[in-house]
Each structure stands twice: as structure tokens, then as C-alpha cells.
């Protein structure tokens, strides 16, 4: 079953084809493309610009180039993770930092803002946005704020335990590239944002911190979140002062003229991820149910709930191999200095609970990265606890040190894909065989 779970995960990744999705969504016919329910004639524009950034940016840029062809080739800026080395003819390429920005992130932010300033009403701008964009592209609102200051900000945010929408609220009010500010940088242009989402449905303004969407969060929200998660004292003086002196800059809201000629289209999200996983799961002979109710839950609570759902599903179908599929991100604050992330932490929390049972649990990131590890996640079964004890490994000790990836690496149960070029949500796969002890 461990092998079956890994096949399901890898086949799910293979089923989510970004260039093909862009081709289908834009549906180009001659010079006409589709933007939601609207049709845009490419011939009406003097220039076409493309800004692509996020973990899926390269595949998205390739898809757009394929659709537009040589006759409408855009002038582009492409920002990819630092670990990815690519070139795209006619595009300026930056290798940004993740999960904290690097010098190229700042350089990319400056280049994007400079390019947008030159756009007018006869410019069509494609924004190709995916998860990870919040750190891959950065430029502070306050020019006196340094990269080192933002390093400390992002390090504090990704380890504080706050959900992504609250983290984004902080970022938006300190950045010149977030919270609708890229749309505001080219207010007269036609703008089409194509997005691959790793955030909950309905919270698309948190994706890459919503660079082209009206921001529903306010200065008051950002200040409250900073207090609630005790972030202010962790910030460098330049950023701490903005909170203490109440000098944060407000973001563009719905109704702002910057959004009058702006369209947003979600290419891939949770629905497409679970649909692909469900299809792969059924191909392996499992009767599946999908459950997305654990989003942003603490890891321990999500483990108990999903194992209960698996037991109930198995009881209702006693003669079948059954599965529970779940997407989304969990809350897993860093409490030690080990290697790992929320996916391997989820699986490690399951190890003692499924010991001796015919259950397999897999959790992995569709971007191929789990926290600060090189793995996407991990897989465990009812024999993992016994195997770990035989190897002298204490699961509880690894959890306390936030070292879950190291635990599974030593057992040979880490899932390593490398960067996938995609970035939907995390995927959890729970399998049980007929007659397994409840």
C-alpha cells in the first residue's frame, strides 16, 4: 500500500498539466483570446507584457508563449526559485529566494515595477501568478528597509503558526509588490491575471499576497495579527517602527480605478488537485472520499479527524480497499532546529496512531518541497513504528526537534521529487485494507 500511495501522488502530479490548462483557458482563435466571459483582441494592443512569478512560473510562461505564438510574443519578466536554472528567449529571468527573499527577489521587484510604469492604455499585461510568489518577488514600500530587514520579517512570519491569509495581511502592508499594488502600478492598462492557487478557495487575494487583486485586509488587521502572534518584538527596528507608530501604508481596495480593466482567472486549484487524485486513487482500486475540512487545523487535530474519517469509511465498506483524500495546509509551528515541514510532521504524528494496523498515510507538497527539507513529504504504514524502534529512532523526539524529514529519510520513507514546477496545495492520502483493525 505504501507503493500504491506513492503512485497515486506521482500520478496526480503528472495529471496537472499547466501549459495545456493555459491553452484550454485562453482558447485563442486567430487574434482573440478568452478572459473569463470576455473576449480580448490581441491586435488592439501596441505592446504585450508578461510578468510570471511563483513556483509554477516557468511552466506558466511556457504555456503562455505556446498560446500567443511568435506573432504576439510578449516581452516578459520571469522569476523562478533560486534552485531552478532556466532560460526563456525574450524574457528577463530572475532567481528569487524562498521562503525568504534574496537579492534577486528585490531586483525582480524593482524590474517589475519599472516595467509597469511604462505601460499605458494600449498595453496588455499578463500576470502569471503561483504560490511562493510572496518571497520570490519583493520590494519594500519604505526604501530605507533592507533585504536583511525583510529576511527577518519573513523568517518570523513562516514560523509563527499563523494561517496564510493572516501572513499575507502583514506582507501586503509592508510591500510595494503585494495587496493589489502591481495592478495600481499600471492603472490604465488591460490586465489579465492567470493563477495557480495554493490557498483556500475564496482566499485568492492571499495567493502570492494578491499582487493584482483588491485587498480585503486593512492596516488594523495587520496590526492586530502582529500583536496576536507576538511578531512586533521579532522585527527589525525599521519595520517595528511602522507598527509602533501606526504608519503602515493602506492597500488598494475594491472600486479602485486600478481594477477597472483587470481580470482574474483561476487556472488550477483545490478542485483540480482532488479530481486528479481521486481518479488516480480509483485506478488503484480504492473507494475514495474527499475531505477538505481540515484546512489550517493544527497537525494533531487533523491527524485524529482524518483517521476517524478513514475508520468510518472502512466500516461502511467492509470488503473494499478505501481511501480518504485531503488537500490544504496545516498549522505546524517550528519548535526545534531540525529538518522538515508540515507534511512530514503530519505523517510522523500518525506513526504511533497507526502502529500494527493496515493503514498507510502519505502527505506531500505538490511543489516538491516540505518546509526546509529537500523532500516533498513522507509516507508511513503500520510497521513504521516497529522499524523505527529497531533503528533506534524515537518518533516523539524527532517531533519535538521539528526534525520529521530526517526521521523518514533514515527509514527510506521520505518522498523526494525535486521541484515539480507546480504549486497547488498539499495532498494527503490515507489508505486502509479490508479488515484492518480500527
Cell of 99: 521562503
**Residue 74 cell numbers, joined:** 510578449
Query: 182-222 pLDDT, tens per residue?
Result: 999 999 999 999 999 888 778 888 899 999 999 999 999 99
High-pLDDT (> 70) share of the chain, %: 99
Helix and strand element counts for the chain (H, E): 16, 14
Q: What is the pLDDT of residues 223-237, one digit of tens each?
A: 999 999 999 999 999
How far apart are the C-alpha atoms of 66 and 54, rounded to whole Å?
19
Band of pLDDT at residue 437, cut at 50, 70 and 90: low
Q: Catalogue all structural domains in the chain, each as residue range(s) with its CATH number.
A: 31-268 (3.40.50.10180), 271-432 (3.40.1480.10)
pLDDT in tens, 251-306: 999 999 999 999 999 998 888 999 999 999 999 999 999 998 998 899 999 999 99
Is the pLDDT at 438 greater than 70, yes or no?
no
Sign of the C-alpha dihedral computed for residues 113, 114, 120 and 123 taken in this order: negative
* 141 CA to centre of own chain: 24
Q: Which residue has the higher pLDDT, 425 or 50?
A: 50
User: pLDDT per residue over 156-193, tens digit each?
Assistant: 887 888 887 898 899 999 999 999 999 999 999 999 99
55-76 average pLDDT score: 94
Which residues, in sequence order, are bridge partners of residue 195? 129, 266
pTM of the model: 0.83
- Reported as type and span, the H/E element at residue 387 is helix 384-390
Amino acid at each position: 500500500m505504501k507503493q500504491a500511495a506513492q503512485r497515486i501522488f506521482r500520478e496526480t502530479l503528472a495529471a496537472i498539466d499547466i501549459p495545456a490548462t493555459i491553452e484550454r483557458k485562453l482558447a485563442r482563435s486567430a487574434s482573440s483570446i478568452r478572459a473569463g466571459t470576455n473576449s480580448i483582441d490581441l491586435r488592439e494592443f501596441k505592446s504585450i507584457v508578461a510578468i510570471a512569478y511563483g513556483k509554477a512560473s516557468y511552466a506558466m510562461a511556457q504555456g503562455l508563449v505556446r498560446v500567443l505564438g511568435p506573432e504576439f510574443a510578449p516581452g516578459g519578466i520571469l522569476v523562478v526559485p533560486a534552485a531552478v536554472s532556466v532560460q526563456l528567449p525574450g524574457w528577463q529571468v530572475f532567481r528569487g529566494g524562498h521562503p525568504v527573499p534574496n537579492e534577486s527577489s528585490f531586483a525582480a521587484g524593482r524590474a517589475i515595477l519599472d516595467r509597469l510604469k511604462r505601460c499605458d492604455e494600449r498595453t496588455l499585461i499578463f500576470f502569471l501568478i503561483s504560490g511562493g510568489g510572496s518571497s520570490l518577488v519583493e520590494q519594500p514600500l519604505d526604501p530605507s528597509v533592507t533585504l536583511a530587514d525583510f529576511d527577518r520579517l519573513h523568517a518570523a512570519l513562516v514560523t509563527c503558526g499563523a494561517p496564510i491569509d493572516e501572513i499575507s495581511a502583514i506582507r501586503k502592508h509592508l510591500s510595494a509588490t503585494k495587496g493589489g499594488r502591481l495592478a495600481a502600478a499600471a492603472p490604465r492598462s488591460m490586465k489579465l491575471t492567470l493563477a495557480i492557487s495554493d490557498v483556500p478557495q475564496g482566499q485568492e487575494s492571499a495567493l502570492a499576497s494578491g499582487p493584482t487583486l483588491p485587498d480585503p485586509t486593512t492596516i488594523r488587521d495587520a496590526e492586530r495579527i502582529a500583536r496576536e502572534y507576538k511578531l512586533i518584538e521579532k522585527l527589525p527596528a525599521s519595520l517595528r517602527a511602522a507598527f509602533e507608530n501606526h504608519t503602515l501604508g493602506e492597500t488598494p481596495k475594491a472600486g479602485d480605478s486600478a481594477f477597472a480593466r483587470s481580470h482574474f482567472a483561476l487556472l488550477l486549484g483545490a478542485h483540480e488537485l482532488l479530481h486528479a487524485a481521486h481518479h488516480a486513487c480509483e485506478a488503484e482500486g480504492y473507494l475514495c472520499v474527499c475531505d477538505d475540512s481540515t484546512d489550517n487545523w493544527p497537525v494533531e487535530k487533523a491527524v485524529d479527524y482524518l483517521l476517524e474519517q478513514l475508520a468510518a469509511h472502512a466500516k461502511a465498506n467492509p470488503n473494499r480497499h478505501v481511501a480518504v483524500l485531503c488537500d490544504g495546509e496545516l498549522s505546524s509551528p517550528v519548535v526545534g532546529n531540525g529538518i522538515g515541514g508540515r507534511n512530514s510532521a503530519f505523517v510522523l504524528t500518525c506513526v504511533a496512531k497507526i502502529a500494527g494496523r493496515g493503514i498507510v498515510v502519505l502527505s506531500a507538497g505538490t511543489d516538491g518541497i516540505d518546509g526546509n527539507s529537500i523532500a516533498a513529504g513522507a509516507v508511513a504504514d503500520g510497521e513504521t513504528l516497529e522499524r523505527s524502534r529497531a533503528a533506534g529512532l524515537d518518533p516523539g523526539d524527532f517531533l519535538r526537534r521539528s526534525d520529521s524529514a530526517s526521521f523518514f529519510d533514515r527509514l527510506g520513507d521520505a518522498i523526494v521529487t525535486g521541484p515539480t514546477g507546480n504549486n497547488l496545495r498539499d495532498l494527503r492520502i490515507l489508505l486502509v485494507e479490508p479488515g484492518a483493525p480500527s
